[in-house]
Structure 1
Amino acid sequence: MDLYEVFKKFFKGKGGYPKFKKRHSDDGFRYPQGFKVEEDNGRIYLPKIGYVRYRNSRKIEGIPKNVTVRQEADGWYASIQCEFELNNHVIVPNLNTAIGIDMGVKRFLTLSDGNFIKSLEERLKPIENKISLLQRRIKHKVKGSNNIKKAYVKLALLHKRKADIRNNFLHQASTLMVKNHDLIVIEDLKIKNMSKSAKGTIVNPGKNVKAKSGLNRSILNEAWYKFFTYLEYKLKLNGGILIKVDPKHTSQTCIQCGHISKDNRKEQAIFKCVKCGYETNADVNAAQNILRRAGLARIACQANLIRGRQQEPAEVYNSSNIVV
């Protein structure tokens, strides 16, 4: 079923050709039916396995439709997909809460009203230092020995911890945005192109390869694409609107006079227009340009589309992640 869906996206041009995974790289299996969940008793019945005790992370909402069981570094997890009814009444978004978001590396995001959220790098740095230290130690251990096997388990746990910190941060940030803003405008960033290697070829070697490699690592570490995905589905559930705009020249355009020049932003943090002399924080100026670029006409069109569109009767989402 998963392979069928991937091929459908591939032929529609929405995804790449499916690749076979290595054995044990992503161990997991799915039960489309036959399972039972006893929340009050704290156990789940899996066909051909039987009842298994679990620790629940959240209450199950709606009707359980299938369960996916997967292995991670610290144990087995079961993700239950549920079906539930959406509200029949149409939610009209408050356009006065519209906000523009500029993504960055020094700051995770900057809002058009001047507020910002600090980079995720500060939270991940201690874990990354431990990972680097352990990787250096693994290099000197004997392959196939018990010591190297123990070290690999510790390394997997550290990577799991890093992923958990990132996901928790992204959920908190996206939930905060959705609670306070019904309309959010972001840049339509091509993150895959932004994080391409500058190494080049032997004939045509790249320039500033080391600096570009560090920038690529920082961009991928912040997980912008996952943050956009969280924003999109949370806004959909709350009746909000997400608009993506062309990112071209958003950081070089003056919000006051509209003059476009790369000389407007000679420094990373400061924007100073060479034409009118307007000076402000560079990220705030970019976020304000992003919000303006959405356009009142487009906003009104989106709002009318939401009002006139009949919502689907049911929505499927992952209701629970439970640790077995």
Structure 2
Amino acid sequence: MLRRQAYKFRIEPTGEQQRKLRQFAGACRFVFNKALAVQQVNREEGGKYIGYVAMAKYLTAWRNGDETPWLKDAPVHPLQHALKDLDRAYQNFFAQRADFPRFKKRGQRDSFRYPDPKQIKLDQGNSRINLPKLGWLRYRNSRQVLGTVKNVSVSLSAGHWCVSIQTEREVDVQRHSSPLAVGIDLGVVRFATLWDGRQETVLQPLNSFKRHQHRLAKAQRQMSHKTKFSNNWKKAKARVQRINRQIADARNDYLHKATHAISQSHALVCVEDLKVGNMSRSAKGTVEQPGQSVRQKSGLNRAILDQGWGEFRRQLDYKAQWAGGWLVAVPPQQTSQQCPECGHTHAGNRQTQALFLCLACGHSDNADRVGSRNIRERGLKTLEGQGHAPIACEVNGAVWPSAAGTRRSEETAFAA
């Protein structure tokens, strides 16, 4: 199995290197915005979309022109990759996977990438990395980097520069040691309810944003009272960024620990195919048709986004593959309204947020536990319906399938 993995470290640049880092990030942002402006003018004039190859010629003209000669001070490969990022943004827009590309702002997600591994030198023994036109950079070496370096991304987060090293290596993935299949029901009151056919496990929500909400609001109010772009305003802005960074770090740490434990202890993970973007969409409506219960829906949206459901599923997907497991996404419709005993489905079965009571057979249980049981059964049936033959391993009458020969070679989860 071909494993691609990124290792992120905080770097400790000198004063001169910090100046260059900001200069290079600004140059990449300038190229992205200028190329986007060219694309918009071309579209208004009725022209066709300009691809990356043709747009790269514009970059050559900008670097050699009299108006922007300072672009030559930045390495060319990160500038080219900024054009590739714009091209990918347009392709995602054409495929209706994302909104129309927007101009980048200074101080928001400043980053750039070195895509050529031949120009990158990594010295793990001395905790340093060499990048073009930056020289040797010290980094906080907290773990060993495994595999062949493919590219390096440099980013600014809450006033600290970080380097992300993407590697690639071949690993042998054996059959998962656990025969258990688990269904996971996500929620707000309970972050995750797990059912593996024998017992229930409940993961309580961290509510990282909710814990720091008042402190963040206070820092934002203090920032709004400062004169914009003054020194005091910059200090207040840095305080807001640090709080946001703490919220995100706490959430990511919780999700990584939870997904690691689940992927290591279960061979088959069944989750709901939730459309988080649609679920957290604003209910404000329009002037002609204003929405209803906007305040309540706003609170629900905030709680959903605070849980990190999308990131939870993304981490489960690749960690299950690394552990030799399998992840299946099932339709979320009526998972908590169907009785797991008799199969009767009705909206009235969900009496309250926490209570499930079947109107047909009288079966009573926690609604989240019922949802996780149904998700697990639907995941098993989905794989069986796709022709994946189950192996001789049962847990309370349920089987988890063998996926030998069903994935492409670089993503094979189970050994044949």
Return the TM-score normalized by structure 2: 0.70
Is there any run of 5+ residues in structure 1 with no aligned partner, and where? 315-324
> How does 1:190-205 map onto structure 2 within 5 Å?
190-205=275-290
User: Could you report, residue by residue, the CA deviation over 1:188-242 in whole angstroms, capped at 9, with x for unpaired residues?
Assistant: 1111111111111122111111001100111111110111000001111222111
Rounded Cα–Cα distance in structure 1 between residues aligned with 2:281 and 2:98: 18
User: Could you report, residue by residue, the CA deviation over 1:149-201 in whole angstroms, capped at 9, with x for unpaired residues?
Assistant: 21111111110111100110110110011010010001111111111111111
* 2:200 is equivalent to residue 102 of structure 1: no
User: Which residue does 1:322 correspond to in 2?
Assistant: none
**Contact 2:151-2:166 within 8 A present in 1 as well:** yes
Q: For CA contacts below 8 A with separation 6 or more, give which structure has more relative contact order.
A: 1
User: Which residue does 2:203 correspond to in 1?
Assistant: 117
- Of 109, 112, 128, the match for 1:26: 109
> Cα distance, 1:304 vs. partner?
4.7
Deviates more, 1:292-301 or 1:231-240: 292-301
Rounded Cα–Cα distance in structure 2 between residues aligned with 1:183 and 1:290: 12
Deviates more, 1:271-280 or 1:302-311: 302-311
Distance 1:79-1:72 versus aligned 2 partners, 3 A rule: same
User: Which residue does 1:241 correspond to in 2?
Assistant: 326
Rounded Cα–Cα distance in structure 1 between residues aligned with 2:100 and 2:405: 37
Distance 1:27-1:218 versus aligned 2 partners, 3 A rule: same
> Cα distance, 1:12 vs. partner?
5.0
Is there any run of 5+ residues in structure 2 with no aligned partner, and where? 1-83, 389-400
- Of 380, 385, 397, the match for 1:295: 380
> How does 1:2-41 map onto structure 2 within 5 Å?
2-12=85-95, 14-33=97-116, 34-41=119-126
- Of 133, 137, 146, the match for 1:61: 146
Return the TM-score normalized by structure 1: 0.88
Rounded Cα–Cα distance in structure 2 between residues aligned with 1:95 and 1:165: 29
> Cα distance, 1:92 vs. partner?
3.4
User: Which residue does 1:80 correspond to in 2?
Assistant: 165
**Contact 2:321-2:411 within 8 A present in 1 as well:** no
Count residues with an aligned counterpart.
311
> Cα distance, 1:11 vs. partner?
4.7
> Cα distance, 1:290 vs. partner?
0.8
Q: CA RMSD in A?
A: 2.3
Rounded Cα–Cα distance in structure 2 between residues aligned with 1:95 and 1:276: 34
> Cα distance, 1:23 vs. partner?
3.2
Distance 1:239-1:76 versus aligned 2 partners, 3 A rule: same
Deviates more, 1:162-171 or 1:23-32: 23-32
Identity of aligned residues (%): 41
